[in-house]
Amino acid sequence: MKYLQVVLAAAVVLSAIPYKTTTVPAWRIRFTDESGAPFRSLPVNQTWRNYSVEASDHHASGITDENGYAQFPERSVWAPLVMRVLGPIGSILGAGAHASFGSSGWIRTSCDLMERGSRLATYYGADLPDHLTLGYFDRGNIRSIVPMSVDPRCKQQEEQAIRSAPPRKEAAAK
């Protein structure tokens, strides 16, 4: 009986010791326009969360270098085993069918630019993207409904995206 109590006490103590898990590995990603030219000085934002043990997102900002690269360090979380077991249960109880689990991270820009192609700058535990092509996307109509600020640092990159866009099909048919 005494042995069982010692084992249970040790299990409780060990389940309360936090250990590190990588949420998003160190991430280096290149942003280019539709002609393949790099977006220099593009403001970008990284968001990440381990949905199994964290209740809110984390955010960091960066700027691309002269070759269009943005770099972010590894993002990790320290959590004990008990939290890793109870966290998903709490997520299910709180969000039901909309509950999320595990690691997630993404990189976006606040400029009027949108991803082109089949790949987004998202990470869900595997396959970290290293390149993203962006094209111009006018958010003017969205801003008229939802208050969104205009980042003054984006003007040059938005003009670059407009210049690099391939001809539209209707315009090419004329």
140-162 confidence digits (pLDDT tens): 788 778 887 778 889 999 999 99
Domain assignment present for residue 172? The answer is no
CATH code of the domain covering residue 25: 2.60.40
Domain assignment present for residue 13? The answer is no
| 64-88 residue pLDDT tens | 999 999 999 999 999 888 888 888 8
Domain assignment present for residue 91? The answer is yes
DSSP structure string for 7-73: HHHHHHHHHTSEEEEEEE--EEEEEE-TTS-B-TT-EEEEEEEETTT-SS-EEEEEE--TTSEEEE-
Q: Which domain holds residue 155?
A: 18-166
On the 0-12 / 13-18 / 19+ scale of CB atoms within 10 A, 34 is: middle
- The predicted model scores a pTM of 0.83
Domain assignment present for residue 4? The answer is no
Domain assignment present for residue 33? The answer is yes
Structural domain count of the chain: 1
Could you tell me the mean pLDDT of each successive run of 10 residues in the chain, 174 residues long? 80 82 94 96 95 91 97 94 84 83 90 87 86 90 81 90 83 51
Cα 6–9–12 angle (5° rounding)?
Answer: 150
